Homo-oligomer: A and B are copies of this chain.
Amino acid sequence: MEKKLAEALQQLKASDIRITPQRQAVLEFLINSHAHPTADDIYKGLVDKFPGMSVATVYNNLRLFTKIGFVQEMAYGDASSRFDFSSQKHYHAICESCGKIVDTYYPGLDDVETAAEQLTGFKINEHRMELYGICPDCQ
């Protein structure tokens, strides 16, 4: 875990992006969180440690991290976007009852991309998938 953070910080430094305490805290929160937090979750989680913390700062950094590829923004129907520190490729199983999001893995869906390229003429870079259903707790 600490390794991921150190790697990420190093990449920031290499890109001439300043490492402010707030920025590092947002990054740390994302790496340590397994709950796909919203911007507000992150804000609420950090405002104790950083009393003056602003939501704008959270959004600023989330946008930055998304742009450089550290995190993925997920905007699934719900009111607010969720953010995912994506270290490896995975899909999301979303509970239609309680809204919980669980990571799930499935290999070998790359041929979908080539198939779509032939069908649409797009040059596909990546794909995402969401599986909707009922989680064990809600069944």
Q: Which residues of A pack against B, CB within 8 Å?
A: 73, 75-78, 81, 91, 93, 95-96, 102, 104-106, 109, 112-113, 115-117, 119-136, 139
Contacts and interface: CB of A to CB of B under 8 A. Distances in A.
Given A124-B131, A126-B132, A127-B132, 15 more contacts: A73-B77, A93-B116, A93-B120, A93-B124, A96-B125, A105-B119, A106-B112, A109-B109, A121-B135, A122-B131, A122-B134, A124-B133, A127-B129, A127-B131, A128-B132
A135 B120 contact: yes
How many copies of the polypeptide does the oligomer hold? 2
Contact of A133 (B102, B104, B106, B122): B122
Nearest to A95: B122
Nearest to A129: B129
Given A93-B124, A136-B122, A131 B116 contact: yes
Contacts of A136: 120-122
A129 B128 contact: yes
Contacts of A133: 117, 122-126
Contacts of A105: 119
